[in-house]
């Protein structure tokens, strides 16, 4: 079960990385799609949120391989008047937040549509 | 049976929807001036991408339109591009590209500052700067000047080639390449037009040749009368150590009596002060810093222990250059040194580059991002550096208008002429119109209202001019003679060119257009009557008349912004606002004393901590306090100063007291020039040079020594000197405590290298410096001026150069090259400048990256 969840999270993370390659706004769209597709799954939103954070963390890791990510964090942290670690937290939190919220909203919408269809309404 | 999934409660869904909507909103829309968070934090396209672009790829193959042959650009271990091309146009195209890659935001900001479109980039708060820029008319003048260039002119061709390079970079930019500042401002770079190079030169003209001296003089005259004003702000500095050698072996002191102050008109002076203040932010912006991030930071950042003290006016400026003939050099080769002082910024105003075109160009120097050729540098044969001449190229005319509130016509020689109306619409970031101003112009230039009068300005900088070809000529010169010929066409802002060549010749010449005024208005330091056309400029000095020297007998040439010509040699009016020649005196003293100069001695001279000024004021303080009773503050202060060697080094403690005492002395002496502004402390309308203060010191009984706040007592010089010393001691103790480590000069004086937007996190504060008032490297009180580039060149069989500037090649704050040179600059050391003849002469370990440009299809 755990392995399956991990594998699923990994696949979703990769999909979210691909979405982010388009632009940041593609992430909540992808998360919403995932939430809709897994509307019957109780852990779908959590997976989406976690995968959103992981996707951006992976992209940051890629940046770090190429260049001085720490310097960027220091620079932006200086401008925002927060510590560099706060910039990482802010970035990953933002990704997690838009992913989980988008998944919850999409899942609820699908369920609402499904229950209305089932009731013949 | 399929288990029923757990559903989210309506409240949870509503909360998620609300958070999502909020996140998407702040993610995609700028809120309260903050950039959209999503675009900013995006790890692929957002600010994090700066990490990927902080270090250029080892090799890149790129295209630039109109390139005639491939161009090879090798970046050395200091990030300096060595550009090898087949033609001058191609080398300039490649330079445009690398300038844009490393300094695109700087180029955009300086262009918009001149054009008066900053509000479109940084927001509504830039409106006053834009209004002032439009009123000055710099962009309009630069545009006119550029449009006058023939289609086939070399200047137009090079500006266009340069634009090709810049625009090739902009066109090829990925989202990851967008500079940090554009991200913060949610903006995109505009296309680079060839005339923007002319904008940049106009901006330099404003930085180096702008003066409202007549208006200041008018205010001073209102306070103390004409005779006193003429003596306090003389056309000829009372200490003569001119740029053009006059045969003297030391400075000459032309002391004159300063007439006593006459009763004045305080209200007029207050109006003048307000006019001056209204331009202060604009002048600062045009010097490089557009402070949109934290307007009040100037009060907080690096202003030293005595931020509240008005400095003597001759502290801030401080460019130097000198050249030594082979017979005075240890190795028998001509030597040249230069350190132009400007506003310090990150990224720096300068960008080092080496431009090579086989058989026609091989120049290393500092370039201005936005312009195609180095104004300072060296070739295989010749080296040159410049200081600002500071000639008077702006005159103000009191106009006779038909309506004092809404004038439409002005009178010249009894005839009414129509005022030109220029309507300027200033737009916000979102395109709406923020303001529409009407600028009135006479045939001389824009009019401004100063108190109850309309004043128009004739300013050389708004004539529009070509500064490209003279610098191309300098870069292609094979000896000093050729360099002098090539720079004859240099228009403005006038510069003191010092040069040396491999044949052992040295020269200097103050070069630029110098107006010849009419007999009735031979001087340009006073407001002129605009109703007489005879007061307009008539013609220009010829190059033969410029201040100059070629291989002078003394074996060296030097300049430090001081008065160019000894009035006994040539009494004609060139200007009046000459800094006291303390730096020149010290430089000349060192050069006269040494007949075995080396490049390293030249380097040390550039940060020499001795102030020539100290030799004159320090004994006065000590002598005035000689009769002080023991254990009094006066005695302790005098004792401390007596033990000082006069060196302004970081560890020194006496310098703090000395500087405070000198500041107090100026405040107490020139109290007649201060006016009380509602709600604030008294402020001086203007401050005479310290050389004038020294002139006054020769007259112990002058009425100027009388303290205006003690009407019943008539103070003498020594009373004021003693009071200044005591007050200085008390002030330093109040701020720093009893004499001790806190009194270190290094703790009081440091450089403040501010980011172009004034963002503290991107600036470097408290950078240690050596020097102070009157020294060769005169750190300014608030630290934001200093040596913007230091260079030493030895013109031997192989030309060798050393240099440093307070910044780094990259404008990317995340790059290791952003402030790479700052530590060495602070320490006064220089880097060896690599000067390969061929691209392959740069060894693999020295080449940090490479770009191969080919023509775009």
The answer to whether B382 and B501 are in contact (CB under 8 A) is yes
Separation between Cα atoms, residue B587 and residue B319, nearest integer Å = 12
Residue B526 pLDDT: 83
DSSP label of A89: H
Domain membership flag for residue B101? no
Q: Which residues of chain A have a CB within 8 Å of the CB of B174?
A: none
Segment (H or E) for B790: strand B790-795
Residue B42 φ/ψ region, left for φ over 0, alpha for ψ in the -120 to 50 degree band, beta for the rest: beta
Task: Say what the alpha-carbon torsion angle B349, B355, B361, B367 is, to the nearest 10 degrees.
Answer: 0
Distances (CA, A) of B752 to B297, B348, B764, B781, B812: 11, 12, 6, 10, 19
State the total domains in chain B. 2
Beta strands in B340-398 (DSSP E): 341-343, 345-346, 351-357, 361-367, 376-378, 382-388, 394-398
Q: Tens of pLDDT along B747-777?
A: 888 899 999 999 999 999 989 888 888 899 8
Residue B310 pLDDT: 41
Confidence of residue B692 (pLDDT cuts 50, 70, 90): very high
- Distance in Å, alpha carbon of B843 to nearest chain A alpha carbon: 24
Look up the ipTM and state it. 0.95
Q: Tens of pLDDT along A52-91?
A: 999 999 999 999 999 999 999 999 999 999 999 999 999 9
Q: What is the rounded average pLDDT for all residues in chain B?
A: 90
Q: Is B288 helix (H, G, I), strand (E, B) or coil?
A: coil
Residue B306 pLDDT: 32
Q: Tens of pLDDT along B464-478?
A: 778 899 999 999 999
Separation between Cα atoms, residue B96 and residue B108, nearest integer Å = 13
Residue B300 pLDDT: 30
Separation between Cα atoms, residue B801 and residue B618, nearest integer Å = 38
Among A24, A41, A63, beta carbon nearest to B38:
A24
In terms of DSSP H, where are the helices of B225-327?
226-232, 266-286
Name A41's Cβ contacts closer than 8 Å, sequence gap at least 6: A47, B5
Q: Which residues of chain A have a CB within 8 Å of the CB of B814?
A: 67-68, 71-72, 75
Residue B18 has pLDDT above 70, yes or no: yes
Confidence of residue B524 (pLDDT cuts 50, 70, 90): confident
Residue B312 pLDDT: 45
Using CA of residue B135, residue B233, residue B621, residue B651, what is the dihedral sign? positive
Q: Which residues of chain B have a CB within 8 Å of the CB of A78?
A: 759-762
pLDDT (average), residues B573-602: 96
Residue B301 has pLDDT above 60, yes or no: no
- Distance in Å, alpha carbon of A119 to nearest chain B alpha carbon: 16
The answer to whether B381 and B393 are in contact (CB under 8 A) is no
Q: Tens of pLDDT along B250-291?
A: 999 999 999 999 887 776 677 666 666 666 666 666 666 666
Domain membership flag for residue B431? yes
- Distance in Å, alpha carbon of A101 to nearest chain B alpha carbon: 5
For B420, the domain range is: 211-247+394-463
Share of chain B above pLDDT 90, in %: 73
Separation between Cα atoms, residue B770 and residue B415, nearest integer Å = 58
Q: Which residue has the tokens 């303390």?
A: B582
Q: Tell if the CB–CB gap between A66 and B51 is shorter than 8 Å.
A: yes
Structure tokens at B663: 């500041």
Residue B845 pLDDT: 83
Provide the β-strand partners of residue B750. B768
The domain limits of chain A are 2-118
Q: Tens of pLDDT along B172-212?
A: 999 889 999 999 999 999 999 999 999 999 989 888 887 77
pLDDT (average), residues B810-826: 96
Separation between Cα atoms, residue B281 and residue B481, nearest integer Å = 41
Residue B295 pLDDT: 36
Structure tokens at B832: 């060896």
Residue B419 pLDDT: 97
Structure tokens at B374: 């180095």
Q: In a 10 Å sphere around its CB, with 0-12 CB exposed, 13-18 middle and 19+ buried, how is residue B678 labelled?
A: exposed
Separation between Cα atoms, residue A73 and residue A113, nearest integer Å = 43
Instruction: Give the A:B interface size as CB pairs under 8 Å.
Output: 128
Among A72, A91, A108, beta carbon nearest to B8:
A108
Indicate which CATH number applies to the domain containing B401: 2.30.120.10
Q: Tell if the CB–CB gap between B762 and A75 is shorter than 8 Å.
A: yes
Name, of A105-119, B509-523, B609-623, the range with top average pLDDT: B609-623
Separation between Cα atoms, residue B267 and residue B204, nearest integer Å = 34
Q: Which of B743, B774, B806 is the last residue of a domain?
A: B743
Q: Which of B727, B743, B759 is the last residue of a domain?
A: B743
Residue B279 pLDDT: 61
Separation between Cα atoms, residue B317 and residue B339, nearest integer Å = 11
Among B24, B44, B52, beta carbon nearest to A20:
B44
Domain membership flag for residue B636? yes
Residues from A contacting B (CB-CB < 8 Å) are 20-21, 23-25, 28, 39-42, 45, 56, 59-60, 63-64, 66-69, 71-72, 75-79, 81, 90-91, 94-95, 97-98, 100-102, 104-105, 107-108, 111
B contact test, residue of A22, A40, A66, A75 with most B CBs within 10 A: A75
Confidence of residue B521 (pLDDT cuts 50, 70, 90): low
Q: Which of B437, B463, B489 is the last residue of a domain?
A: B463
Q: Tens of pLDDT along B55-72?
A: 999 999 999 999 999 999
The answer to whether B395 and B414 are in contact (CB under 8 A) is no
Confidence of residue B639 (pLDDT cuts 50, 70, 90): very high
Residue B294 pLDDT: 40
Q: Is B34 helix (H, G, I), strand (E, B) or coil?
A: strand
Residue B433 has pLDDT above 50, yes or no: yes
Q: What is the 3-state secondary structure (H, E, C) of B405-428?
A: CCCCEEEECCEEEECEEEEEEEEC
Residue B143 pLDDT: 92
Q: Tell if the CB–CB gap between B20 and A23 is shorter than 8 Å.
A: no
Structure tokens at B267: 């209200």
Q: Which of B150, B161, B174, B205 is nearest to B68 (CA)?
A: B161
Among B19, B39, B48, beta carbon nearest to A69:
B48
Higher pLDDT: B596 or B785? It is: B596
Separation between Cα atoms, residue A95 and residue A80, nearest integer Å = 18
Separation between Cα atoms, residue B447 and residue B460, nearest integer Å = 15
Q: Tens of pLDDT along B214-246?
A: 888 888 988 999 999 999 999 999 999 999 999
Residues from B contacting A (CB-CB < 8 Å) are 2, 5-8, 12-13, 16-17, 19-20, 23-24, 27-28, 37-55, 180, 184, 759-762, 813-816
Among A72, A101, A105, beta carbon nearest to B50:
A72
Q: Tell if the CB–CB gap between B813 and A107 is shorter than 8 Å.
A: no
Separation between Cα atoms, residue A36 and residue A45, nearest integer Å = 10
Q: Tens of pLDDT along A13-44?
A: 999 999 999 999 999 999 999 999 998 887 88
Share of chain B above pLDDT 70, in %: 93
Residue B3 has pLDDT above 70, yes or no: no
């Amino acid at each position: 079960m755990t392995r399956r969840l991990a594998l699923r999270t990994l696949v979703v993370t990769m999909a979210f990385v691909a979405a982010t390659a388009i632009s940041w706004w593609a992430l909540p769209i992808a998360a919403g799609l995932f939430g809709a597709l897994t509307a019957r799954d109780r852990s779908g939103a959590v997976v989406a949120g976690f995968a959103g954070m992981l996707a951006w963390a992976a992209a940051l890791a890629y940046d770090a391989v190429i260049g001085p990510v720490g310097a960027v964090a220091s620079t932006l942290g200086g401008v925002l008047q927060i510590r560099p670690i706060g910039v990482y937290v802010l970035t990953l939190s933002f990704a997690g937040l838009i992913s989980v919220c988008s998944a919850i909203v999409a899942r609820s919408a699908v369920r609402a549509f499904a229950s209305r269809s089932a009731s013949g309404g | 049976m399929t288990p029923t999934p757990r559903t989210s409660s309506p409240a949870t869904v509503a909360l998620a929807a609300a958070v999502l909507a909020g996140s998407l909103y702040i993610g995609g829309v700028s809120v309260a001036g903050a950039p959209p968070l999503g675009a900013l934090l995006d790890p692929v396209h957002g600010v994090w991408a700066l990490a990927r672009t902080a270090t250029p790829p080892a090799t890149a193959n790129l295209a630039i339109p109109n390139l005639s042959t491939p161009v090879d650009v090798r970046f050395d271990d200091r990030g300096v591009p060595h550009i090898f091309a087949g033609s001058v146009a191609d080398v300039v195209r490649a330079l445009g590209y690398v300038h844009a890659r490393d300094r695109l935001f700087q180029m955009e900001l300086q262009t918009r500052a001149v054009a008066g479109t900053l509000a479109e980039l940084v927001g509504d708060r830039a409106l006053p700067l834009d209004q002032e820029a439009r009123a000055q008319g710099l962009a309009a003048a630069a545009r006119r000047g550029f449009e006058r260039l023939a289609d086939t002119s070399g200047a137009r061709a090079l500006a266009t080639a340069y634009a090709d390079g810049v625009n090739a970079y902009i066109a090829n930019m990925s989202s990851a390449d967008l500079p940090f500042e554009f991200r913060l401002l949610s903006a995109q770079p505009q296309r680079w037009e060839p005339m923007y190079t002319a904008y940049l030169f106009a901006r330099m003209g404003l930085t180096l040749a702008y003066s409202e001296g007549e208006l200041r003089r008018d205010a001073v005259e209102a306070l103390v009368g004409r005779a006193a004003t003429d003596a306090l702000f003389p056309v000829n500095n009372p200490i003569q150590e001119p740029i053009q050698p006059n045969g003297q072996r030391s400075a000459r002191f032309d002391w004159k009596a300063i007439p006593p102050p006459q009763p004045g008109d305080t209200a007029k002076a207050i109006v003048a002060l307000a006019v001056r203040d209204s331009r202060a932010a604009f002048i600062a912006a045009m010097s490089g810093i557009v402070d949109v991030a934290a307007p009040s930071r100037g009060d907080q950042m690096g202003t030293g222990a005595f931020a509240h003290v008005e400095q003597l006016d001759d502290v801030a400026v401080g460019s130097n250059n000198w050249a030594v003939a082979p017979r005075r050099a240890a190795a028998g080769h001509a030597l040249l040194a230069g350190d132009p002082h400007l506003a310090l910024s990150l990224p720096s105003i300068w960008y080092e580059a080496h431009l090579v075109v086989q058989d026609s160009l091989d120049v290393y120097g500092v370039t201005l991002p936005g312009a195609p050729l180095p104004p300072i540098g060296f070739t295989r044969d010749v080296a040159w550096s410049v200081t600002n001449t500071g000639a008077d190229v702006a005159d103000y005319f009191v106009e006779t208008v038909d309506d004092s509130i809404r004038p439409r016509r002005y009178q010249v020689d009894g005839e009414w002429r129509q005022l030109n109306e220029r309507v300027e619409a200033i737009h916000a970031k979102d395109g709406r119109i923020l303001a529409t101003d009407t600028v009135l112009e006479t045939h001389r230039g824009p009019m401004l209202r100063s108190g109850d009068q309309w004043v128009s300005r004739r300013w050389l900088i708004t004539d529009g001019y070509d500064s490209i070809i003279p610098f191309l000529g300098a870069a292609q010169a094979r000896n000093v003679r050729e360099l002098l010929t090539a720079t004859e066409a240099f228009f403005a802002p006038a510069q003191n060119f010092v040069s040396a060549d491999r044949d052992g010749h040295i020269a200097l010449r103050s070069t630029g257009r110098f107006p010849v005024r009419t007999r009735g208005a031979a001087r340009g330091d006073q407001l002129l009557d605009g109703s007489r056309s005879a007061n307009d400029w008539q013609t220009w000095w010829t190059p033969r008349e410029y201040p100059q020297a070629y291989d002078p007998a003394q074996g060296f040439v030097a300049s430090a912004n001081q008065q160019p010509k000894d009035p006994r040699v040539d009494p004609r009016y060139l200007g009046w606002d000459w800094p006291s020649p303390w730096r020149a005196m010290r430089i000349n003293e060192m050069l006269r004393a040494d007949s075995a100069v080396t490049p390293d001695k030249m380097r040390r001279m550039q940060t020499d901590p001795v102030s020539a000024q100290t030799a004159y004021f320090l004994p006065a303080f000590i002598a005035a306090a000689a009769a002080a009773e023991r254990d009094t503050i006066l005695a302790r202060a005098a004792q401390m100063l007596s033990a000082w060697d006069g060196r302004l080094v970081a560890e020194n403690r006496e310098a703090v007291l000395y500087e405070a005492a000198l500041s107090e002395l100026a405040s107490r002496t020139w109290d007649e020039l201060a006016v009380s502004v509602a709600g604030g402390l008294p402020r001086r309308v203007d401050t005479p040079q310290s050389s004038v203060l020294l002139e006054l010191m020769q007259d112990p009984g002058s009425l100027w020594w009388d303290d205006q706040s003690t009407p019943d007592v008539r103070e003498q010089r020594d009373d004021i000197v003693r009071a200044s010393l005591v007050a200085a001691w008390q002030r330093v103790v109040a701020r720093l405590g009893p004499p001790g480590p806190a009194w270190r000069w290094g703790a009081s004086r440091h450089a403040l290298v501010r980011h172009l937007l004034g963002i503290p996190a991107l600036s470097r504060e408290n950078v240690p410096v050596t020097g102070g008032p009157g020294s060769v490297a005169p750190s300014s009180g608030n630290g934001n001026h200093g040596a913007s580039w230091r260079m030493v060149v030895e013109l031997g069989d192989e030309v060798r150069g050393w240099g440093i500037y307070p910044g780094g090649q990259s404008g990317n704050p995340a790059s290791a090259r952003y402030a790479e040179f700052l530590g060495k600059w602070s320490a006064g050391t220089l880097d060896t400048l690599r000067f390969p003849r061929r691209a392959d002469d740069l060894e693999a370990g020295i080449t940090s990256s490479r770009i191969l440009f080919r023509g775009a299809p």
